[in-house]
Structure 1
Amino acid sequence: MTPAKKTSKDTKPAEVAPKSSPASSPAAVKLTANGSIAISIHAKPNAKESSIAGLSDAAVEVQISAPPKDGEANSELVRFMADILGLKKSQVALDKGSKSREKVVLLDGDCGLTPAEVVVRLKKQCGDE
C-alpha cells in the first residue's frame, strides 16, 4: 500500500506536462504553473552558426554563433529561439543560467503555442521529424 502513495506523489508534478501529448513532449519542454512554457537548454557557444543540435528528454542542445562574453551568447540564444519558434523577442526570455551552459528559456503564456507545438518546431529545426 505504501508504494502506491509514493507513486501518486511522483505523478503529481509530472501531471502538468502531459496535458499536451506525452509521447511527443520531452521533459525539456514543460508547461509552468503560470501558463508559460519552459525550455531546458544546453548551450554550446562559439559555433559557426546558430542551430538546434539535438532534442532529448533532458535538454534542447543549441549551438550559438556568439561568444560567451558580456551576455552576447544569451542575447543570440533569445533571438535565435524567437526566430525559429516564430515569436517576437519580447515573448522569449532567459529565466535561469545566464552564466552557465545549462539554461532555461521561458516563452510567454500568451504566445499562442503549446508545449507539443514547440517540440514540433524544434524537431523541424534539428531534422528529427
Structure 2
Amino acid sequence: MILRKISFSCGHKIVSLSKRSQLKVCDFWSSTALRHNFSTSGSSLNMGKEKKLAKARAQKVENTSPISVTKDGRIQIKILAKPGAQESRVTDISAEGVGLQIAAPPVDGEANTELVKFLSSSLGVRKSDVVLDRGSRSRQKTVIVHSSSLQDVERILHSMADKN
C-alpha cells in the first residue's frame, strides 16, 4: 500500500501529514530530504524513485542463484561451508548458497585452504584462479573464480550436487 504524504512549509518548520493522520513537525533545516520534497508522493519526482525500487525488487527476485557474474566479469559463488567432514563434497545448491562439506577442521584457515583446493580441482582451474573474497572466519563465504564461464561453473556444481 502506498501512502500519499503531503508536506508543506509553515514558517521555518515543515509539517508532514500522511493518510494515516500522523502529524510530523520537523525543523526546516534539519532534513534535506523533506526540505526538497514539498509535493505528494505521486509526483513525477517520486515516481522515478518508485520505479527504481520496483526494478531493484525485481532483480532480487530474479537473482535467486548463488552463482552470479560480478560487474567485472568474474564468477561469484556464495558458499555455505560445513567444515570437519570426512570428505569434501557439494551437498546442495539453494538460493542462500552452495552447500559444501569440507574435509578439514576450521582451525588456522585449514578449511579455507581445503575449500579453495576442492573448488579449483572440481572446476578445472588453477588454485590461483579461485579466491576467497569474503567470510574467512564465517561459514557463509563468497568465492571469486577467474577464467571460467558461468554456465560451466553452474553445470559442474549442479552435477556434483546431483551425485549426492
Instruction: Give the TM-score, by structure 1 length.
Output: 0.80
Would you tell me which structure has more strand in proportion to its own residues? 2
Distance in 2, Cα, partners of 1:89 & 1:54: 23
Q: How much identity, in percent, do the aligned residues show?
A: 38
Aligned counterpart, 1:38: 76
CA contact (8 A) 2:104 2:114 kept: yes
Read off the aligned partner of 2:137 and give its amino acid letter: K
Q: 1:65 to 1:123 in 2, by over 3 A?
A: same
Partners of 1:9 and 1:43 lie apart in 2 by: 28
Does residue 79 (structure 1) correspond to residue 117 (structure 2)? The answer is yes
Q: Quick one: distance in 2 between partners of 1:13 and 1:43?
A: 23
CA contact (8 A) 2:92 2:98 kept: yes
Q: In 2 relative to 1, CA 9–52 (structure 1 residues): closer, same or farther, beyond 3 Å? A: closer
Q: Give the aligned length.
A: 116
Q: Which amino acid aligns with 1:89?
A: K
Deviations 1:33-83 (A, max 9, x none): 111111000000000000000011210000000000010000000000001
Distance in 1 (alpha carbons) for counterparts of 2:110 and 2:88? 13
Structure 2 partner of 1:112: 148
- Give the TM-score taking structure 2 as reference length: 0.64
Relative to structure 1, the CA distance from residue 68 to residue 30 in structure 2 (aligned partners, 3 Å threshold; closer, same or farther) is same
What per-residue deviation string (whole Å, max 9, x for no partner) do you get for residues 86-113 of structure 1?
Answer: 11101001000000000000011xx132
Aligned match of 1:20: none
Structure index of larger Rg: 2
Shift of 1:14: 7.6
Query: Residue 53 of structure 1 aligns with which residue?
Result: 91
Displacement after TM superposition at 1:11 (Å): 4.1
Whose RCO is larger (CA < 8 A, sep 6+)? 1
Runs of 5+ unmatched residues, structure 2? 1-41
Question: What 5-or-longer segments of structure 1 have no aligned partner?
Answer: 18-25
